[in-house]
Amino acid sequence: MIHKIASKIGMKKLRDVYRPGHLAVSIELFPPKTASGEHSLYEHVGKLVEYHPDFVTCTYGAGGSTRDKTLEIVRQIKLRFGIPVASHLTVVGSTVDQLRDYLRRAQAGGIDFVVALRGDPPQGQSSFVATAGGLRHANELVELIGREFPGFGIAVAGYPEKHSEAVSFDSDLLHLKNKVDAGADVVLTQLFFDNRDFFQFRDRCAALGIGVPIVPGILPVTNLKQIQRIASLCGSKIPGKFINDLSRSDLPQWQMQVGIEFALNQVHELIQQGVLGLHFYVLNQSQAMLAILEGLQIRSSRTA
């Protein structure tokens, strides 16, 4: 169902999304592999947009494997639902000319923001290898976008528990500062389950002079197996009590309810501690996310 026509919206500034007195909500999706997955994705998005998320993002498959699909999904979401969209973009497997080509097409497609990343290596490759004629790190991509495509708002990735390859927390933070100094408007964090990691990370960013919003990445957990797989991929610790609570029953409804309650508690504390936004990894589902948005009474507080 087409809610609004995208052309009425125009490009929004990412910095304006994060402002005092407004809790910005962004929702991250990934490109489905099948036509039925895509159909169901738009159905879920249709339910989520009732809560007025500030923007929706779509990931860019490892090694650029979903390049065209990513662009198509964000373009379609903007067209069908009339909300701002961000395309993730990684440097993996692309020359600078290929990155430019993607950015040109994204610009022509009315994409508002770019989540600028180095990216994970393609499947079967254990470490990142720079492409000949390409870039090495996300800060170089931020520079390229800022220099040649200044109309895009830029988000970058931050790691409350440190990036797995970083030699130290301090060096990781310095590299994050480079990305912000290169022109990033906001830092979206890797998912985490212990808010203390986020608060320490945010304090350390502030101490280094990183002045852009640091937006926590939240995974609404729907089952134990899923959280264990995802956390092992991105290196996030899962609190023992959360695992115990999830393990108490195999019933899907039980596990989803525990996940929703955990996310609600996590998010309430983050809001109390002054975050300007929340970035949700919804994994192309809406049930848990809708319960969380409802629990936060986001519908009433955001449309008032």
Please give the residue ranges that form the binding site for ligand FAD (CB under 6 A).
59-60, 62, 88, 90, 115, 117-120, 137-139, 157, 163, 165-166, 171-172, 175, 178-179, 188, 190, 217
Q: State the Cα–Cα distance between residues 134 and 118, nearest whole angstrom.
A: 11
Nearer to ligand FAD, 85 or 115 (CB): 115
Using an 8 Å Cβ cutoff, are 30 and 44 in contact?
Answer: no
Least distance in Å: CB of 46 to ligand FAD?
A: 23
Q: Least distance (Å) from ligand FAD to the CB of residue 88?
A: 3
> Least separation, in Å, of the C-beta of 186 and ligand FAD?
10
- CB closer to ligand FAD out of 151 and 235: 235
85 pairs with which residues across the strands? 56
Six token digits for residue 234: 């991105």
Instruction: Confirm whether 28 is a catalytic residue.
Output: yes
The Cβ-side half-sphere exposure at 111, using a 13 Å CA radius, reads 29
Cβ-based nearer residue to ligand FAD, 218 or 288: 218
The CB-of-198 to ligand FAD minimum distance in angstroms stands at 12
Backbone angles phi, psi at 25, to 5 degrees: -120, 125
Distance, in Å, from the CA atom of 142 to the CA atom of 228, rounded to the nearest integer, reads 32
Report in angstroms how near the CB of residue 120 gets to ligand FAD at its nearest.
4
Burial (CB count within 10 angstroms: exposed 0-12, middle 13-18, buried 19+), residue 117 = buried
Q: Closer to ligand FAD by CB, 119 or 153: give it.
A: 119
CA distances from 232 to 117, 155, 198 (A): 20, 24, 18
User: Which CB atom, from 87 or from 286, has the smaller least distance to ligand FAD?
Assistant: 87
Say if CB 132 and CB 92 are below 8 A apart: no
Neighbours of 105 (CB within 10 A): 15
Query: Considering the complex, what minimum distance in angstroms separates the CB of residue 26 from ligand FAD?
Result: 9
Name the active-site residue from 28, 140, 143, 161: 28
Per the DSSP assignment, residues forming a β-bridge with 155 are 115, 186
| SS3 track for 139-153 | HHHHHHHHHHCCCCE
The percent helix, strand, coil of the chain (3-state, each to 5) is 50, 15, 40
Nearest CB to ligand FAD, comparing residues 60 and 81: 60
User: Which residues are part of the catalytic machinery?
Assistant: 28
